[in-house]
Amino acid sequence: MRYAVLVGLLAVLVAAIANWPTHARSVEQLVQTKRIEPGQSSTEVRAALGEPAQITKTDTYWKSTEDWMYREGDRTFLLTFEAGKLLQITEQLVGAGK
């Protein structure tokens, strides 16, 4: 009886790990496949991409924004949020313009 329960729990664990979302996908792939696009909530973006490398908050008289930075090799993706919604996605190459 205990053996059957242990095997059942192990099967559930293996299935959960196999379906666990990976954050190894690149930002570019998620943008191209429309998994990340303007209008999404910050919660949806964080679930797809994981924690950003840096968050910069800007408050002005008219609005508050957050810029989330994700780095991939020599590329940096800047995701700008306003009122908790993704406003725009900007890609920058490190060293561009040198």
How high is the pLDDT of residue 2?
A: 67
- Taking the CB of residue 45, how many other CB atoms lie within 10 A of it? 23
> Any idea which residue has 């920058």 for tokens?
92
* Better-scored residue on pLDDT, 83 or 3: 83
- In CATH, what number does 24-93 get? 3.30.1450.10
* Better-scored residue on pLDDT, 32 or 52: 52
Which CA distances in Å does 45 have to 30, 41, 60? 10, 6, 24
| In the chain, domain spans | 24-93
pLDDT in tens, 38-62: 999 999 999 888 999 999 999 999 9
pLDDT in tens, 69-87: 999 888 899 999 999 999 9
* pLDDT value at 7 more than 70: no
Which own/partner contact pairs does 82-91 have at CB distance under 8 Å and 24+ positions apart? 84/41, 84/42, 85/38, 85/39, 85/40, 85/41, 85/42, 86/36, 86/37, 86/38, 86/39, 86/40, 86/41, 86/42, 86/45, 87/38, 88/38, 89/31, 89/36, 89/37, 89/38, 91/28
